[in-house]
Amino acid sequence: MQIYKGLDIATAKVTKAEMQNIPHHLIDICEPQEKFSVADFKRMCYDEIDKIIKKGKVPIIVGGTGLYVSSVVYDMNFDKEAIDEEYRKYLYDLAKEKSNMYVYNMLEKVDKESAKEIHPNNLKRVIRALEIAKNSEKLKSEHIEDEKSRLKNLKKDSKYNFQVFYIDYNRDTLYKRINERVDIMIKDGLEKEAKMVYDMNLPKDVTCMQAIGYKEFFPYFNHEISLDEVILKLKLETRKYAKRQETYFKNKLEVILLDGTKTISEKVSYIKERLSN
């Protein structure tokens, strides 16, 4: 989400001071109304990686979206199923008329495995899975299973020699950090940033609308809930997302765990030690 210009607080976008004169890539490259896919990320990331390697440097991919990391380090394939704009619009209208759960129940009937992996409120992914089921020879879940089979020899087949490090915290510490992070974002002006996004009146299928930190404010701007309820919702949704991140990284990526209780210097020393072996 840090690819989007102006979406700084909710995405915890790295600041100039935090960069410490180290070049950062693929930040502030899109307008909020632009769609951006994992396939786009993979293509652009490969371009940047090649440039960095040619300079004799080692690229570091930093982020929390496991699928995006996997797409690069494991060279995942993304079949370009035909986009059915008419069917997509029909489903969005249906969700608006009858609810997200109604459309989610449609997915459960045609692709139960995908439904298990997608939250009912993630309308974009629900609709995409239905779209694939309608227009592709395979269900979305079958594409995923094909990819899992291909990834059995991940390290051997990967385009790059890589290592994945995951900072591991116990659940209580993690949730405490998340709650504090949300409080800091509120203090830094998240409400104003969310109002900016709200006023754009963007389509629900635009990528940035999936970010935690904006859509949770919309009922508040519509005078349906209080600010305190928004803050509680932000903390809850971020904790849920962190749990999904942990599951993805530990189960679908070959990770090296970093003890979250260690200092930054201790973590860096451990990383350097592993890289030298």
Contact indicator for 155, 73 with CB cutoff of 8 Å: no
Where in the chain are the domains? 16-75+158-276, 85-151
Question: In a structure prediction context, what are the per-residue pLDDT tens digits for the chain, which is 277 residues long?
Answer: 999 999 999 999 999 999 999 999 999 999 999 988 888 999 999 999 999 999 999 999 998 788 888 888 888 776 555 567 888 889 999 998 999 999 999 999 988 888 887 888 888 889 888 888 887 655 555 555 555 555 555 555 677 888 899 999 999 999 999 999 999 999 999 999 999 999 999 987 788 988 999 999 999 999 999 999 999 999 999 999 999 889 888 888 889 999 999 999 999 999 999 988 7
Q: Which alpha helices (DSSP H) does the chain contain, by range?
A: 16-19, 38-54, 66-73, 85-98, 100-110, 112-117, 123-135, 140-150, 154-157, 171-188, 190-200, 218-221, 227-252, 264-276
On the question of a common fold for 16-75+158-276 and 85-151, the answer reads no
CATH 3.40.50.300 for domain 16-75+158-276, yes or no, is: yes
Q: What is the pLDDT of residue 111?
A: 86
CATH 1.10.20.140 for domain 85-151, yes or no, is: yes
139 closest CA partner among 100, 164, 109, 159: 109
Ordered DSSP codes for 194-262: HHHHHHHT--TTSGGGGSTTTGGGHHHHTTSS-HHHHHHHHHHHHHHHHHHHHHHHHHHS-EEEEETTS
Q: What is the pLDDT of residue 81?
A: 53
Rg (CA), the chain: 20
